Structure 1
């Protein structure tokens, strides 16, 4: 009969400490989930940002326009212009578009169109409208799949084939074109033919576009709605109607006989939903190939040697790339910080397990256990817990964060699982590489750094200095790499190593006077703090890195918010503004002042494009000095004193405040300026960069009393909680409905500055990374306190038997925990401030802060330390440490001394 097998090691160990195994599994699950979710989240917001950039661009910019010459020969019934032949040619053109660029077939169109604005040849007394005596001009085009993109309003769609002998064709127009040009079903419009005989186009019906803003209609606006176009760019030129006639597919060949220089075309809309940011380089290469590469050569073989391709899609992709490249390094900073803190916490968990099982492992070594054998068993029992937890975290991340790549998430989770599996065995093998029967004291105040540690610390110092210098010189706008993105983390690591070296000094200094006190609690707490394990570099490293990342991240988010606030203020000049090209109605300012939330209304007369004596055209502002000065002081836009602007009776020149460029052009002496038909003598008495009335252009500000035109054209509104709808209802009352003043709110403008998923997604990922880093810092502090919890409980129990009161015990544990917590809090705050100051010249927040970066770059997006981001995390660390110590003291007092003190316990 065989002997019963010994219970397996792994199963026995897991049954012995199920709580520790469960806590490790939960930690690995959370870390694996975050590690997998981060790259997938970045992929998702980058993809959404790219698709939004293409989809939100003007369709006539994003569309790929293919144009080729008409078939030679002049036969209107030539097969190349028949519906089937054009459909086949169009399909071949779509296949010639290089991957990964794809066409949105539903919004693309092809056909034949005129390239010149053809004037209608109908008589002067015809029904066609002629504003200012100019006949309407027409765009005549066939458009594929018209029935799928329009709803028939009246009449029918064109069905008859072109008649080359009678020079007739059928077409439809949109409802807005029919209304503007007085067209009804059955109307006939004549256009000149190539050989002198006009072409008669019979209108068979009117249609209503189903998606007028989509690419199918927006790429040819004249087909969608008529436009009043000036005859020339010169001012005061007569206008004419420019509208489109949509031929049936069978009528396309008739355009061969017109004088409008017809061409075969295809307007191919890119499929924005099929784009992803990882293929951005391929997309740019595909567009370049279409514009002047192999793809264009292939298209010319299909359509003709004169085929051209034009698009602004390459500019859209380039702008997106620029914004993404300015955002990525900023997000990478938070990613590196959180990854470092998470890695340290996993190492601390392994260290805690090794310390908890120190006696067991020392006994195994004393009884002949080998290091590889012990390490293998520990790795096996850890892998049983960590590998399934990591896999579960990966699965949850895939389910929660959809749309990202799987491989980066898989690699990140593999790294988490590897660190989790090796932390305990490696720490145990290092600690027990020599056989010991008793553990030596490893007090923090007694430990001496080894030479290897010194060399490693100096190496990290060199890397940190190099990272800071590289970031300050290159800026995040130039791209990112590992060294640059890890600069704040390296600063935190160096600070942690420095504090660990300096930590024993204040403990020794404080212990001497504490020994002279009557109470032993203070001295004992300091002595206990000094006897903390010398491996306390990991808790400090985690805390300082997390606090540095949190402070740096908070400063980044505060800088983003500040930049958006300034950009919105520079756009509106106040909390709200009401503008009109003509003088505003009388009494409007009084009505606006009664709107809820309005505290001040300042009226101003603004004349744009006033020519200065030195040649430039600037804005001239007339305002009442006192309220306008109060507004400038409130907004901080070029604050002035009321006396500086007031017109002085009998003065030779009107006092003026000017922007630097205008002041340089006018000089300090009196100069004559013509404003709104009046001649003024002005003299610049002050220079300001900006002013609320025109915050984004050069200006000349004078007192309204000295300005000839005094009727206000602009109202600047200050207040809190302004309602845009309420203001617009007040402005567009029946007395002002015809004048159409525009209302612009600062809050609405600020909201528009973050209209891209690329920016909002990056901001969410950044905030989540900072929050995760803070959470891991809390875990690091708890693990640090948990490591010494059994020993503190036993000590407290012994002292209780010697007469220590509960209040004194609580004070003892709190004072013991405070030195390290206070050190981490102060060090973290100082390190966060130093990192922000050191790295601020190299951190560009423009892409993250501002959607319209080209228009609002002057708002500035610098990085400055944020006081709340520095103080709140530091205070929370101290409060948490004190709270945990107080809780442990309370719990120990409830359990009693007998429970904590057992015979043979070496704690």
Structure 2
């Protein structure tokens, strides 16, 4: 009766514990019982939620900064949306034309043009402008204006609004009108910029006469000289001629008498009607500069739609209704947006790979934390189920217990991310933090529900050597294999695909007639998951194969003397099935790290090769004419210089076949062959440029590019040099690249046998180019030696130009941070796995010590027991990383990510390659960390008494 009463009492207490009214006491009691575990879970959830919420905001930041940088760095003549209406295309009576050019009319039309712009395109009103200008420059009649080749200077007349707001008065006063200005007015006032005044020798009070048909010339008196407040702003840079005069070339005149100056005279807006009396073809214009601060990468589709509407859609129709039926629109902003979209499309999949990899590892760690908690409380939960606790009641209380800790921690992590990474959008961050919090809340209840669905007092063995894979597991693994293969094929088929010109006159920026549509997101999730899926498949395959070699090794080691080896292999073979999770975390992290490290190393390699190809050496000193003959020796004595290779280059040498001209380089065979060998840019033997027969042979051997080799074959041919002399050549070597002529069809010959190249200087022949090799070269010293007529380029300076886009640098930082976070989560997963098995290992050592096991043998036992798992993870991670890189490399072109501009190109090898350091270092770190923790545990256990460990370990 007493025993039955005691059992009934315990059952009633368990029932009361699980009663709905006791939710709060249950949660409070459990949190007080294990405060350390609750704090650890809170820290893990807060950190993971912070990283998850910060990632989309960091991506938004660098994408927005990249878009704004692309628009800011593009010339304003390309990014400004320009509307114009020429006099010749508008059917208006003469009296109405004069009224149409008045400032009040233009101001009203400008307001209507602004209203036609649809969001998300926002106009920067401070830099936008409107006015009237002449489209045909007029020859000034004044001979005091500079004439560099005898041709008279030309001027364009511009009446643009807002001159006083965008310029500082340097001399004189701003121009104004007296009375009403008409096409028949004889004189007007104007202002010029400081650059125009300096180069055209204009002073305050100067009068410039502009010819007119059937009338006296128009006298334009300069009353003021102004300096632009923002010279690079759209107000001055949309038409650069407003700010800076240009030295133009007349294609119909023969040199040297074919150049003349072209400048702009800035008239007050009230003087615009006077342009009708000139022969300059006046036109009205309205220029809308985009507000770069309001540009967001997420609005690219909307921006393209707004531009398309303004260029050839409803927006243009509204502008024509507001201004002139013949008004036209033009801009290059659409090409800038398209170029940015292509760069973004090339970068986004790579960043997504790191995001999915790190996210997978973080999810595994959260699941492992829940599993560790469930394992720690396995006896407690089994007892509750045995005493009548319902599965719903137990899991509900566990969910409430976890939510009390995880929800506040996730909220704190989200708040930290929102404050640390400012960005306009919050939804993605909130969703990411919510997913992390929900996963943390559900890990423990789901694990407990799966394990305690059936009430069992004693569980069966659950190690790798006894549990056989089920059919469901086989189906799941086959599904993952299919998904991984599909992702790999999609990424291997993935391909990657802006130019603009600048005209110093009043020509409109060339651009596409319509805006190109852009997709909101180019990253296919399946493609981005490919490396993660490769790691998952590797983990599943290794777990299936893991017991086989352990069984064979255990049989062989069992025949040897000593029990440590056999015990360690037997213990390793009895690793629980749940070890799949830490192995999955390690393999995913190692695969992502190898992939990410290979990407970063490949990007650096592409930039190095592109910079080396652009300069041909560590530094390049180049001039169109001959350099001083003593300059090579002076450069050799400069600090850091190891060797100088002099080269004579002629860029427009005409072959005897009359086809396109080629680049001919005369080199010193010895130094140039050494340079080509060190730089790996088409290495060749120096003797190949020496004649095979007589040293005085008339036919010179030449090294050529493949296209020229196909063009001329091996037959002798002649080329005519700049001085008119003919040189006979025969192609004996073919190379893809050469240091002297990057990116061009080239011929390389021995310069000592090349007459008349280059021009003689002071009775001696000097090179036109110096290719300098060395370390820590001083660019300033080289420029000082070369003088002002030579161009000096350092490879380090060219390399720095390739990372001028925030989109590239931001993506690299986010990628590096994601890989580092993945490594941290993988380490945490490894620690959780070791913590889970620590009590069992401690009890094992205590039992074995009572049987005579020494402390040294205990350390060896734990280290040898951990080695198979760590070696499995290291080997599997290395193979998975190598396989991921090899499988996915054909579909990834790193040129877009590595180089800042679309015109830059790497000479070879732009695809992803395996980086040995990225493969081996993380794998070795896993082995070292695992064995180090095992050794530390053995050392710590050896210092303690065996009684307590045995008491703790007996139930196990």
Partner of 2:5: none
Paired residue for 2:80? 63
TM-score w.r.t. length of structure 1: 0.96
Structure 2 unaligned residues grouped into runs of 5+: 1-15, 498-518, 758-764
1:662 is matched with 708
1:698–1:234: structure 2 CA closer, same or farther, 3 Å change rule?
Answer: farther
Q: 1:193 aligns with which of 189, 202, 212?
A: 212
Q: CA deviation at 1:858?
A: 4.3
- Alignment match, 1:688: 735
CA-CA distance at 1:668 after TM superposition: 0.7
The CA deviation at 1:75 is 4.5
- SS of 1:131 mapped into structure 2: coil
Q: How far did residue 43 of structure 1 move?
A: 1.0
State the distance in 1 between where 2:707 and 2:400 align.
74
Secondary structure of residue in 1 paired with 2:578: coil
Distance 2:252 2:650 in 1: 22
Q: What's the counterpart of residue 678 of structure 1?
A: 725
Distance in 2 (CA, whole Å) between partners of 1:274 and 1:616 is: 48
1:481 is displaced (CA, Å) by 1.1
Q: Which residue matches 1:742?
A: 791
- Matching residue of 1:33: 50
Within the candidate set 497, 522, 537, 2:565 is matched to 522
Deviation at 1:170, TM superposition (A): 0.7
Contact 1:330 1:485 in 2 (8 A): yes
The CA distance in 2 between the partners of 1:153 and 1:73, in whole Å, is 41
For 2:869 and 2:410, locate their aligned partners in 1 and report how far apart those are by CA, in whole Å. Answer: 32
Residue of structure 1 in register with 2:647 after alignment: 604
Alignment of 1:145-224 (within 5 A): 145-161=162-178, 163-164=181-182, 166-224=185-243
Change in Cα spacing, 1:400 to 1:204, as seen in structure 2 (3 Å) is: same
2:62 equivalent to 1:15: no
Tell me the TM-score normalized by structure 2: 0.91
Q: Where does 1:282-293 land on structure 2 (aligned, <5 Å)?
A: 282-293=302-313
Deviations 1:622-642 (A, max 9, x none): 011111111111111111111
- Cα deviation 1:818-864 (Å, max 9, x = unaligned): 11111000010011111111111111222211112333154441111
Q: Could you tell me how far apart the structure 2 residues matched to 1:904 and 1:828 are?
A: 34
1:88 alignment partner, one of 108, 116, 124: 108
Q: Does 1:704 align with 2:757?
A: no
1:50 aligns with 2:70: no
Give the Cα–Cα distance (whole angstroms) in 1 for the partners of residues 443 and 254 of structure 2.
Answer: 78
| Structure-2 change in CA distance of 1:904 and 1:650 (3 Å) | closer
Give the direction of change, closer, same or farther, for the CA distance of 1:801–1:666 in structure 2 (3 Å limit): same
Contact 1:611 1:674 (C-alpha < 8 Å) held by counterparts = yes
* Deviation per residue, 1:494-543 (Å, 9 max, x gap): 11000000111111111112222322111111111122212211111111
Query: Is the CA contact 1:68–1:308 (under 8 Å) kept in the aligned structure 2?
Result: yes
What are the within-5 Å matches in structure 2 for residues 578-589 of structure 1? 578-589=621-632
* 1:760 counterpart residue number: 809
Q: 1:627 aligns with which of 671, 696, 705?
A: 671
Q: Does 1:534 align with 2:570?
A: no
Change (3 A) 1:557 1:699: same
**1:301 maps to which of 299, 317, 321:** 321
Contact 2:615–2:739 (8 Å) recurs in 1? yes
- Preserved contact between residue 629 and residue 642 of structure 1 (Cα < 8 Å): yes
Please say if residues 323 and 847 of structure 1, whose CA atoms lie closer than 8 Å, have aligned partners that are also in contact. Answer: yes
Tell me how far apart the structure 2 counterparts of residues 448 and 469 of structure 1 sit (CA, whole Å): 32
Question: Does 2:371 align with 1:351?
Answer: yes
Q: Report the equivalent of 2:511.
A: none
Q: Give the conservation status (yes or no) of the 8 Å contact 1:344–1:542.
A: yes
The SS at the match of 2:860 is: helix
Shift in CA distance, 76/167, structure 1 to aligned 2, threshold 3 Å:
farther
* Runs ≥4 residues deviating over 6 A: 3-7
Alignment check: 8 A CA contact 1:445 1:534 kept: no
Q: Residues 172 and 781 (structure 1 numbering): CA distance in 2 closer, same or farther, change over 3 Å?
A: same
> Could you tell me which residue of structure 2 aligns to residue 840 of structure 1?
889
User: How big is each residue's C-alpha offset from its partner over 1:223-262, in whole Å with a ceiling of 9 and x where there is no partner?
Assistant: 2122111122666251111000001122222222222111
70-79 or 309-318, which moves further after superposition?
A: 70-79
Does the Cα contact within 8 Å between 1:600 and 1:717 map onto a contact in 2?
yes
Q: 1:529 to 1:166 in 2, by over 3 A?
A: closer
Distance in 2 separating the partners of 1:33 and 1:803:
50
Structure 2 equivalent of residue 266 of structure 1: 286
Q: 1:759 to 1:613 in 2, by over 3 A?
A: same
CA RMSD of superposed structures (Å): 1.9
Q: CA deviation at 1:443?
A: 1.7
CA distance in 2, matches of 1:748, 1:624: 26
Q: Which residue of 1 aligns with 2:939?
A: 890
Whether the 8 Å contact between 1:113 and 1:139 is mirrored in structure 2 is: yes
Determine the C-alpha separation between the residues in 2 that align with 1:204 and 1:233. Answer: 35
| Aligned mates of 2:388, 2:656 — CA distance in 1 | 98
SS in structure 1 at match of 2:577: coil
Q: Give the corresponding residue for 1:311.
A: 331
The 1:475–1:121 alpha-carbon spacing in structure 2 relative to 1, beyond 3 Å, is closer
1:554 equivalent among 597, 605, 612: 597
User: 1:246 aligns to what?
Assistant: 266
Deviation at 1:87, TM superposition (A): 2.4
With over 3 angstroms needed to count, the CA separation of the structure-2 counterparts of 1:18 and 1:220, relative to structure 1, is same
Aligned counterparts of 1:591 and 1:46: Cα–Cα separation in 2: 47
The answer to whether the Cα contact below 8 Å between 2:843 and 2:953 also exists between their aligned partners in 1 is no
Match of 2:588 among 545, 550, 573: 545
Do 2:606 and 2:906's aligned partners in 1 also have CA atoms closer than 8 Å? no
Greater CA deviation, 80-89 or 805-814? Answer: 80-89
Pair 1:707–1:578, CA change in 2 (3 A): same
Q: Could you tell me whether the CA contact under 8 Å between 1:604 and 1:624 is conserved in 2?
A: yes
CA contact (8 A) 2:840 2:953 kept: no
Aligned to 1:536, the other structure's residue is in SS state helix
1:822 counterpart residue number = 871
In structure 2, the residue corresponding to 1:228 is in which secondary structure? Answer: strand
Could you give the per-residue CA deviations for residues 539-586 of structure 1, whole angstroms, max 9, x where no partner exists?
Answer: 111111111111111111111111111111111111110000110012
Q: Deviations over 1:747-766 (max 9, x none)?
A: 11111112111111111111
Q: Which stretch shifts more, 569-578 or 849-858?
A: 849-858
Aligned pair partner of 1:861 in 910, 916, 931 = 910
Q: Aligned in 2, Cα 1:544/1:903: closer, same or farther, shift over 3 Å?
A: closer
CA contact (8 A) 2:621 2:790 kept: yes
Per-residue CA deviations over 1:404-437 (Å, capped at 9, x if unaligned) read 5211111111111111111111011001111011
Distance 1:244 1:76 in 2: 26
The 2-side partners of 1:484 and 1:233 are apart by 57
In 2, the alpha carbon distance for the partners of 1:642 and 1:100 equals: 61
User: How far apart, in 2, do the equivalents of 1:310 and 1:81 lie?
Assistant: 21
Aligned to 2:245: 226
Contact kept in structure 2, 1:150 and 1:210, CA below 8 Å? yes
Change over 3 Å in CA distance of 1:578–1:766 after alignment to 2: same
Cα distance in 1 for partners of 2:362, 2:424 equals 22
